[in-house]
Structure 1
Amino acid sequence: MRTKVKICCIKSIEEAHAAIEFGASALGLVSTMPSGPGIVDEAVIAQIARSVPPPIATFLLTSAVDSEEIVAQQRRCGTNTLQLCDHLPPSTYPTIRNALPGIKLVQVVHVEDMESVDYAVSAAEHVDALLLDSGRLSAPIKELGGTGRTHDWGLSRKIRDAIKIPLFLAGGLTEENVAEAIRLVEPFGIDLCSSVRTADSLDFEKLGAFFAAIPNAPNKAAHTNPLPESRFK
């Protein structure tokens, strides 16, 4: 199976459609965050989401932890997927599910230690996919993604082997290390931001080089939804 590719930090309709042309099957749209790159206004996120054809997935990255706030934000932005960037308690998920039927939930897990593995296994019971990243929840200003750092892929592999839902791998992936990351972790998909941008813009040359470095790179002519429909009954 081809490794799916999600391009994050999309900032315009033009960037969105360029990423799709290169082979992305999902786009990340970053709302307000305590730190990190790629933040855009919700009005822009809504415009981009409306412009993206199915079956491309549009991920709203939210730092909110209150279920009502998360639901309201998704309704304003109109994406088909929620990327929950902070660690949420289990009680949050049913409320979001009931309010947003059909909207896919992807929980970010910031991989730091074995506690991260335990959290991932627990969260996997409530969401449609996990996304493993290299943030630090304990930092003076929370880091919820976009750090450009790798994490311990051995821990990522432990998570991969312990869950039964799709897993995306993020954090410091480059054209030099992506093949090794895929070999070690065998993720369902990978997530890119800083490695394919220059001066805060999507860099087509870097994007092409990255896709060329991915084993079994996605086919531009064959897009599929990056999360199996069986997870969304």
Structure 2
Amino acid sequence: MKVCCILSEEEARIAVRHGAAALGLVSRMPSGPGVISEERIAEIASKVPPPVGTFLLSSSTEVDALVAEHRRTRTNTLQLVDSLPPGHLQRLREALPGVRLVQVIHVTGPSSLDEALSVAPWVDALLLDSGNPTLAVKELGGTGRVHDWEVSRRIREQASLPVFLAGGLRPENVLEAVRQVGPYGLDICSGLRTDGRLDEDKVSRFFRALDTLAA
């Protein structure tokens, strides 16, 4: 379970205390919630206890810029929220051999399956979200919308690597999402927030809902 859009060390502590296995730290984006400075990302990431994952969310599509951003923030995972030009994922893998790479696939229709399978050989995991990169101002996450879980299920079945599910997840729908898609993990941002801040009650209810799956 990854709690995204972490804004502060206190939010990080709340998420970890309730059982988050990873935290998402959002760098510059064309739209969406949770953006903080690279300095704050580095500060928060440095305080997160192992083995909790720290994900840098970057909208950059250039290898040199991604490498430099990662070195400034020092997270253990790089989450690519936009698609990179052909060949760039291979170059990024070579440039950051010890860093886990997670590619976001914005599930907009059946063609998202082909997109997911085409990048799968070069990354450690896929994250299926509900953005829309084709808009004039790109939506690259944090929309609070649910996408077509049937397409997500097909991606999960055919991809030979871990698949995270994101997009409109809440305590009220998470069990159905898990049943329909069967993801390796979940990623949530807006569904755990009230007035933009992490709501500990929602966090608690979300994790309690997940506990019923293991019961």
Q: How far has the Cα of 1:176 moved from its partner? A: 1.1
Q: 1:30 aligns to what?
A: 26
Q: How far has the Cα of 1:115 moved from its partner? A: 1.4
Q: 1:205 aligns to what?
A: 201
Alignment of 1:1-80 (within 5 A): 5-80=1-76
Q: 2:115 aligns to what?
A: 119
How many residue pairs get aligned? The number is 214
Q: Which runs of 5+ in 1 are unaligned?
A: 219-233
Task: From the superposition, tell whether residues 215 and 153 of structure 1 become closer, same or farther in structure 2 (CA, over 3 Å).
Answer: farther
Work out the CA distance in 1 between the residues paired with 2:23 and 2:163. Answer: 16
Over residues 85-131 of structure 1, what are the superposed CA-to-partner deviations in whole Å (9 max), with x where a residue is unaligned? 00123411222122212100000000011211100011111100000
Which of 88, 91, 94 lines up with 1:92 in the alignment? 88
Q: 1:169 aligns to what?
A: 165
8 A contact 2:67–2:96 mirrored in 1: yes
Q: 2:185 aligns to what?
A: 189
Work out the CA distance in 1 between the residues paired with 2:179 and 2:144. Answer: 20
Q: 1:137 aligns to what?
A: 133
Q: Give the TM-score of the pair, scaled to structure 2.
A: 0.97
Which of 137, 141, 148 lines up with 1:152 in the alignment? 148
Work out the CA distance in 1 between the residues paired with 2:14 and 2:7. Answer: 12
Identity across matched positions, percent: 55
Shift >3 Å, 4+ stretches = 215-218
Q: How far has the Cα of 1:215 moved from its partner? A: 4.7
Task: From the superposition, tell whether residues 204 and 72 of structure 1 become closer, same or farther in structure 2 (CA, over 3 Å).
Answer: same
Q: Which runs of 5+ in 2 are unaligned?
A: none
Given residue 153 of structure 2, which amino acid in structure 1 is its aligned partner? R
1:82 partner SS: strand
The CA RMSD over aligned residues, in Å, is 1.2
8 A contact 1:108–1:131 mirrored in 2: yes
Given residue 60 of structure 1, which amino acid in structure 2 is its aligned partner? L
8 A contact 1:108–1:132 mirrored in 2: yes
Work out the CA distance in 1 between the residues paired with 2:213 and 2:84. Answer: 32
Q: How far has the Cα of 1:57 moved from its partner? A: 0.4
Q: How far has the Cα of 1:155 moved from its partner? A: 0.2
Q: Give the TM-score of the pair, scaled to structure 1.
A: 0.89
8 A contact 2:175–2:213 mirrored in 1: no
| Bigger RCO (CA 8 Å, 6+ sep) | 1
8 A contact 2:93–2:122 mirrored in 1: no
8 A contact 1:179–1:215 mirrored in 2: no
Over residues 24-81 of structure 1, what are the superposed CA-to-partner deviations in whole Å (9 max), with x where a residue is unaligned? 0000000000000000000000001100111110000000000100000000000000
